[in-house]
Amino acid sequence: MSSIAFKPFHGLRRSSAVPSPTSTTTTLSKSAVKFHVSAAKTSPKLSNRNLRVAIIGGGPAGGSAAETLAKAGIETFLIERKLDNCKPCGGAIPLCMVGEFDLPLDIIDRRVTKMKMISPSNIAVDIGQTLKPHEYIGMVRREVLDAYLRDRAKENGANVINGLFLKMDMPKHWDEPYVLHYTEYDGKKGAMGAKATLEVDAVIGADGANSRVAKAINAGDYDYAIAFQERIKIPDEKMVYYENLAEMYVGDDVSPDFYGWVFPKCDHVAVGTGTVTHKNDIKKFQLATRNRAKDKILGGKIIRVEAHPIPEHPRPRRLSGRVALVGDAAGYVTKCSGEGIYFAAKSGRMCAEAIVEGSQNGKKMVDEGDLRKYLEKWDKKYWPTYKVLDVLQKVFYRSNPAREAFVEMCADEYVQKMTFDSYLYKTVAPGNPLEDLKLAVNTIGSLVRANALRKEMEKLNV
C-alpha cells in the first residue's frame, strides 16, 4: 500500500514560487505542538495593529482555527449563525483527536469498543477484537463538541459573533482588506438582526458544504451526499445493548452507495443513512435502516430529525488570494466511511498555523503563498487516506454481492487491525506483505462466492 503513487487532487494549481522565508520558533500553548514561524521577506509589517482574520462557520474547523489564531495574538473573528447547531452527523471521532485537541472526556457520550457490520442478508460480523484496552471510538453530539471548541477559542481571545455571513467585497489591491457583510443577531436588534460589516486581512471559509465563502471565490462545485438522521430515545433496557456498541448496515435497501448506522449517544441513539446517487429516496432508505434495527430500537421515540449535505470530494479550488477553505467547505469528508469531524478540526488548525507562521504571529501581512503551505501539507499528509477509501467504496459498495464480500472480509482479524489502526490514529497503516497477499486472495474468494450466491438467488426468483 505504501508503494502506490497517488495523483494530486484534480483541478489544483501548482504552488507558486515564494521568497525564501526567515524562521524563528514559537510555542502557541501548552497543548499545541511547536512549529516554525516565518514570513516572506517581502511581506510588509503591519503598523499599530495585528493581523485580522475572520473565520466563517463555527463547527470543528472554525473553532479549531479560531483558537489557534487567537492564541498567537492575531485579531480573530468567528461568525456563526446557529450557535446551537445540531448537524446530522454520526458523531464518531478517532482516539487521536481526543489527545491532539485536548478534548475533555465529559463531552464524549460513549466510548465504542465494539461494532457490528451487518450485510444485506443480515449476516452480522463483530468488529473490535483487536482493540487494546485503552482504545475506543468516541461518540459525541455535535452541538456539544462545536460549542466547546468555540468557547475555548473565545477564552483565548477570539471574538465570537452570532451572525449570518452574506457576502464579501474583494480587495482591489494586494494590501487592501476584505469587507465582510453579515447580519448580526445580538439580541438587541430583534429577530431580524442588524446589517453589519467587518474589514479583515484574511478569511477562512469553514461554513460547510453550502459554503458562501466558496461561492465568493468561485471554488467550484462538487458531488455531495444527503445525510438523514433521526435521534431516537429508546427504553433504558434496550440502551444497555448500545452501551459501547455501534452498528453499520450495508445493502441496497439502506443505501445504494453508502451505509446505514445506529450510533449510541448519551441517552439515545442516532439512526441514519446517506446517499449521493438517489437523494430523492433518502426517506425510503431511512425507513429501511430503522426496519433493519427495529427489534433493538422497538418502543423508541423520535426526538429530533436532521438532514444535511455532505461533500464527496475536495473542491476544484480551495484557495484564492488570502481566502482559504477548510472542513466541509473544502470537501474534506472521506469516502466509504463518511468521516469528517477530525479532518475538519485538523484542516482548520493547519490553515491557522500557516497564517500564524506566515505573519510572524500577526505582525506581518500574509499572501496566497503563505496560505498555500497549508494545502501542500494537507495534501501530502492525507491524500493517500482519501484515495484508499475512495477505492474501497468503488469496489465494495457497488452491489449487494460486493457488500456481502466486504462484511465477510471484515471478520478477518488482520483486516480489523489495519482498519482500526488507520482510523484511530489517522494514518494509512503499513501492511505485512504476506498478510496482504492472503487478504487479496481471501477478498477475491469472497467476491466470487458472493456473485455465485447472487446468481443462485436470481434463478430462484425466475
Tally of residues, the chain:
462
Residue 71 lies in a domain: yes
- 380 domain residue, yes or no: yes
Total structural domains within the chain: 2
Give the integer Cα–Cα distance in Å for 39 and 47. Answer: 16
Q: How far apart are CA 191 and CA 407, in angstroms?
A: 50
What are the grid coordinates assigned to 128, written together? 473490535
pLDDT above 70: residue 10: no
Residues 157, 71 within the same domain: yes
Residues 442, 322 share a domain: no
Mean pLDDT to the nearest integer, 336-358: 95
pLDDT at 456 over 60: no
Q: Is 434's pLDDT higher than 90?
A: no
Indicate the SS3 state at residue 194: strand
Residue 454 — very low, low, confident or very high, per pLDDT cuts 50/70/90?
A: low
Q: What is the pTM of this model?
A: 0.85
Domain-embedded: residue 400:
yes
Whether residue 97 is contained in a domain is answered as no
Residue with cell 471574538: 159
Quick one: pLDDT band at residue 3, thresholds 50, 70, 90? very low
- Which of 352, 376, 395 is the endpoint of a domain? 395
How many whole angstroms separate alpha carbon 50 and alpha carbon 78? 16
Pair (332, 426) in one structural domain: no
Residue 411 is assigned to a structural domain of this protein? yes
- Whether residue 81 is found in the same domain as residue 217: yes
Per-residue model confidence as pLDDT tens digits over 14-72 = 333 333 333 333 334 444 444 444 444 566 899 899 999 999 999 999 999 999 999 99
pLDDT at 248: 97
Q: What is the pLDDT of residue 336?
A: 79
Among candidate residues 355, 372, 395, the one where a domain is terminated: 395
H or E element in which residue 76 lies: strand 75-80
pLDDT at position 441 is 47
Predicted confidence at residue 414, as pLDDT, reads 86
| 364 and 344 inside one domain | yes
Inside any domain, residue 270: no
Asked whether residue 438 falls in the same domain as residue 341, the answer is: no
Distance of CA 279 to the CA centre of its chain: 20
148 and 208 share one domain:
yes
Domain for residue 199, yes or no? yes
Is 426 within a domain? yes
Question: Within this chain, do residues 385 and 405 fall inside the same structural domain, yes or no?
Answer: no
In a shared domain, residues 427 and 333: no
Report d(CA 13, CA 316) in Å as an integer.
Answer: 9
Domain that holds residue 439: 396-461
Q: Which of 368, 395, 422 is at the close of a domain?
A: 395
Claim to verify: residue 406 and residue 374 sit in the same structural domain: no
Residues 192 and 325 in one domain: yes
Statement to judge: residues 383 and 401 lie in one domain: no
CATH (domain of 327)? 3.50.50.60
What is the distance between the alpha carbons of residues 167 and 227, in angstroms, rounded to a whole number? Answer: 27
